[in-house]
């Protein structure tokens, strides 16, 4: 039987969108940094077009306002658009009102520029953290039906978070959580759908995690950032741990993605949503 198509998601942001950093975390400085999101995203789009792959792009409102032609290409080539917030704000570091204002501004900007309704969300830096986050109800109230922000990997997320598409119930209504691929890294739960643990893992380990997920009926949801594939990424002022998280293993990302897409074209999140709508497992004990 042919391998199921992996789900590819792209967080559409600049290389300097690093939450909480004294230099890069300040939106007032962002227009002073060289923009790289255009050429790096075009490398991804060229690969996806060549391999007949599709993806869901979680777009920052800030990016949508500055790069309308990039969004136009994404839509024209059949990809989906979701929302990554407006100014890359971590949900767990601001008030719910402030988070709502950022989500609302981001969704409005992405819809306005793309001309598409936006109903899928990914929080900056996995900052919803837990399946009982009050931000999930807020997302329902703001018109989202799908979220892909929960990692079942501490300390980024919680071990109790879903590891498969799961309908979460909140007081204003349900939202379908579609979490990224989780595997193991030296015996510990690890994010293998993307990020530094995936980049530093052997490709065979990631492929085994994808195969194990599909054997359990779980779609392999992968994620990538344009800056991870940028051959001309600007130098950054980062301390050692953030430097590792940002840069380690970056050179592997594009060739690995190319091998994957050539073997099995990727699909956007809606491919999972339509399947999950036939009977997602519900999460017990999720706060109403």
| Contact predicate 236/15, CB 8 Å | yes
Min dist. Cβ of residue 195 to Zn ion (A): 11
Which of 6, 8, 11, 16 is in the footprint of Zn ion by CB under 5 A? 11
Min dist. Cβ of residue 11 to Zn ion (A): 4
Considering the complex, state which of residue 79 and residue 84 has its C-beta at the smaller distance from Zn ion.
Answer: 84
Strands 166-170 and 80-83, sheet pairing: unpaired
Residue 268: both structure tokens together = 């956007």
Considering the complex, state which of residue 123 and residue 220 has its C-beta at the smaller distance from Zn ion.
Answer: 123
Q: Site map for Zn ion, 12-41, x if CB under 5 A?
A: -x----------------------------
Considering the complex, state which of residue 38 and residue 275 has its C-beta at the smaller distance from Zn ion.
Answer: 38
Min dist. Cβ of residue 50 to Zn ion (A): 26
280 scored as a contact of Zn ion (CB under 5 A): no
Looking at the chain, which runs of residues are DSSP E strands?
Answer: 7-12, 56-59, 80-83, 120-121, 146-147, 166-170, 173-177, 182-185, 188-191, 221-224, 281-282
| Contact predicate 183/212, CB 8 Å | yes
Between CA 66 and CA 71 the distance in angstroms is 10
Considering the complex, state which of residue 11 and residue 86 has its C-beta at the smaller distance from Zn ion.
Answer: 11
Between CA 238 and CA 23 the distance in angstroms is 10
CA geometry: angle 283, 177, 271, nearest 5 deg: 125
Q: Site map for Zn ion, 93-132, x if CB under 5 A?
A: -------------------------------x--------
The torsion of the CA quartet 29, 34, 39, 45, rounded to 10 degrees, works out to: -10
Considering the complex, state which of residue 87 and residue 286 has its C-beta at the smaller distance from Zn ion.
Answer: 87
Considering the complex, state which of residue 99 and residue 286 has its C-beta at the smaller distance from Zn ion.
Answer: 99
Omega before residue 155 within 30° of 0, cis: yes
Number of residues that bind Zn ion (CB under 5 A): 3
Min dist. Cβ of residue 173 to Zn ion (A): 26
Min dist. Cβ of residue 186 to Zn ion (A): 26
Residues that bind Zn ion (CB under 5 A): 11, 13, 124
């Amino acid at each position: 039987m042919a391998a199921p198509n992996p789900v590819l998601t792209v967080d559409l942001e600049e290389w300097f969108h690093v939450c909480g950093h004294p230099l890069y975390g300040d939106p007032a400085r962002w227009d002073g940094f060289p923009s790289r999101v255009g050429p790096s995203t075009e490398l991804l789009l060229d690969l996806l077009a060549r391999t007949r792959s599709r993806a869901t792009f979680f777009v920052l409102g800030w990016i949508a306002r500055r790069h309308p032609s990039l969004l136009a290409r994404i839509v024209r080539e059949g990809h989906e658009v979701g929302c990554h917030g407006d100014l890359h704000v971590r949900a767990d570091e601001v008030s719910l009102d402030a988070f709502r204002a950022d989500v609302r501004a981001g969704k409005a900007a992405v819809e306005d520029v793309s001309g598409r309704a936006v109903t899928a969300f990914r929080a900056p830096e996995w900052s919803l953290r837990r399946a009982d986050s009050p931000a999930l109800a807020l997302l329902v109230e703001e018109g989202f039906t799908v979220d892909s922000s929960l990692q079942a990997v501490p300390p980024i997320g919680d071990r109790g978070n879903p590891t498969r598409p799961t309908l979460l119930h909140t007081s204003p209504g349900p939202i379908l959580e579609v979490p990224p691929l989780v595997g193991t890294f030296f015996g510990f739960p690890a994010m293998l759908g993307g990020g530094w643990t995936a980049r530093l893992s052997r490709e065979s380990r990631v492929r085994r995690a994808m195969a194990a997920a599909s054997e359990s009926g779980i779609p392999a949801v992968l994620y990538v950032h344009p800056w991870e594939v940028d051959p001309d990424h600007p130098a950054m002022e980062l301390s050692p741990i953030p430097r590792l998280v940002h840069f380690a293993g970056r050179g592997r990302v594009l060739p690995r993605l190319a091998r994957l897409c050539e073997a099995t074209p990727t699909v956007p999140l809606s491919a999972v949503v339509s399947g999950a709508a036939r009977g997602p497992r519900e999460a017990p004990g999720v706060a109403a």
